[in-house]
């Protein structure tokens, strides 16, 4: 079966930056990525190159920033009050996940100031060219429940038991 909309895809991936440094490896977690193709659970650039591939296929793809996490946007750097953070022991480089207009977003602490905190709400990989080594493990038809929820469901779990989620 080939990858197409409304199909659940299971794959392993290795994500590297433009210098070849490995940023993420699904095998290191011993759990492959599973997503519902065509439901915005994976960045559009990856979905585009995966269409038509089948279990057993291996491929490499390099995505420009606009196909991956977008260009960096300096307007997403702002100062907020210290009260916006759940802890007092903040340090530059710390990251937090917060609700955003389009779902959860990652906030990176850039600088501590006397009256606030300078944060960056750009995705940590925004502005970067990224390379993926992909291995397609399985492609199957999505169940009706998975289509209703918009993502794969764990085996034996009813749709009402699972919160909405998206793949990284």
Q: Which fold has domain 7-69+126-161?
A: Chitinase A; domain 3 (3.10.50)
- Other beta carbons within 10 angstroms of residue 75's beta carbon come to 7
Burial environment of residue 118 by CB neighbours within 10 A (0 to 12, 13 to 18, 19 or more): middle
Average pLDDT in the chain:
89
pTM above 0.85, yes or no: no
Every domain of the chain and the residues it spans: 7-69+126-161, 74-120
pLDDT tens-digit map of 135-151:
999 999 999 999 999 99
Are 43 and 166 in contact by the 8 Å Cβ rule? The answer is no
As its CATH architecture, domain 74-120 has Beta Barrel (2.40)
Q: Residue 110: is its pLDDT beyond 80?
A: yes
**Total length of the chain:** 168
pLDDT tens-digit map of 46-72:
999 999 999 999 999 999 999 999 999
Please report the pLDDT score of residue 159 as a whole number: 45
Q: Residue 86: is its pLDDT beyond 80?
A: no
């Amino acid at each position: 079966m080939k990858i197409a909309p409304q199909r659940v895809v299971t794959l392993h991936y290795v994500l590297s930056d433009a210098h070849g440094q490995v940023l993420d490896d699904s095998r290191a977690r011993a759990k492959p990525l599973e997503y519902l193709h065509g439901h915005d659970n994976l960045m559009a650039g990856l979905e585009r190159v995966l269409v038509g591939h089948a279990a057993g296929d291996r491929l490499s793809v390099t995505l420009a920033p606009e196909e991956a996490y977008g260009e960096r946007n300096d307007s997403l750097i702002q100062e907020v009050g210290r009260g916006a953070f759940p802890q007092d022991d903040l340090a530059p480089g710390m990251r937090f996940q917060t609700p955003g207009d389009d779902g959860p977003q990652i906030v990176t602490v850039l600088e501590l100031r006397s009256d606030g905190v300078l944060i960056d709400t750009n995705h940590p990989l925004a502005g970067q060219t990224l390379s993926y080594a992909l291995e397609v493990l399985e492609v199957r038809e999505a169940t009706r429940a998975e289509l209703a929820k918009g993502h794969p469901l764990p085996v034996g779990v009813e749709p009402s038991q699972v919160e909405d989620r998206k793949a990284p």
